[in-house]
Structure 1
Amino acid sequence: MNTTKVMLRVLVFSLLFTMLSTHQALGNKENCDKDKDFIKRQCEKCIGVGRKFPTTQLCCNAIKRADMACVCRSITLEEQLTISVVKVVDVAKECGNPVPPGNKCGTWTVPPQLLGWVHP
């Protein structure tokens, strides 16, 4: 009888933990998309495909408050037609919120930091 009660408690706690962690993950996705949209607006010229423009303070402010690994993962192939993921990673590093090596940024994997490494 005690074993049944213990098992029932474990099952209830497992269910609650799963519900709470799923809700948190959904919230993070929503926040990630909001951050990405905000960064796209604030950093349009800094991260756009084509000519490189200087990074603005507004852009850095947007990047500093974002989960950049999440933002990078959420950049779609379609968005990469207008956004340079290499510039996103560079600007994030410049602004003090780097994307960790090994993470995906769009379809590109952020390389390990090498001394003297320069991206194409």
Structure 2
Amino acid sequence: MSTRVFLQCLVMAMALTAIVVEEAYGIPICNIDTNDLGQCRAAVTGNQPPPPTGECCGVIKRSDLSCLCKYKSYLPAVGIDPSKATTLLSKCGISNAPPACYA
């Protein structure tokens, strides 16, 4: 194995390790840990998603909705339909969502 190939493999391994470590710890955003958002993934993906779980609703209720709704336009990039994400609010009994959630 050449030195160049070895260094490329080493860099790739370091990058993957950094991604895994970051995923394990999550990133705090809008008063919640990004790993906690996984609780809602099933309820916002697919053609006929199931209702949100109690854990999912708990995550949404703990979040800063004014902050979280600002990220709505980025959802398609991670495979989430924004309209399905918006329906979580009513399905979780949240009636005071900011206008940014419905825009």
Instruction: Give unmatched runs, 5+ long, in structure 2.
Output: 1-27
Distance 2:60 2:34 in 1: 11
Distance 2:40 2:86 in 1: 12
Distance 2:43 2:90 in 1: 13
Distance 1:36 1:72 in 2: 15
Distance 1:55 1:88 in 2: 10
Query: Which is richer in helix?
Result: 2
Q: Percent identical across equivalent pairs?
A: 26
Whether contact under 8 Å (1:47, 1:87) holds in the other structure is yes
Larger Rg: 1
Identify the residue that residue 8 of structure 1 maps to in structure 2. none
Whether contact under 8 Å (1:47, 1:88) holds in the other structure is yes
Is the aligned partner of 1:69 residue 2:66? Answer: yes
C-alpha RMSD of the superposition: 2.5
TM-score, normalised on structure 2?
A: 0.56
Equivalent residues in 2 for 1:12-91, closer than 5 Å: 31-32=29-30, 35=32, 37-77=34-74, 79-81=75-77, 82-91=79-88
Q: How many residues align?
A: 74
Instruction: Give unmatched runs, 5+ long, in structure 1.
Output: 1-29, 112-120
TM-score, normalised on structure 1?
A: 0.49
Once the 2 structures are TM-superposed, how far is the Cα of residue 38 of structure 1 from its aligned partner? 4.0
Identify the residue that residue 92 of structure 1 maps to in structure 2. 89
Read off the aligned partner of 1:64 and give its amino acid letter.
K
Which is bigger in relative contact order (C-alpha 8 A, separation at least 6)?
A: 2
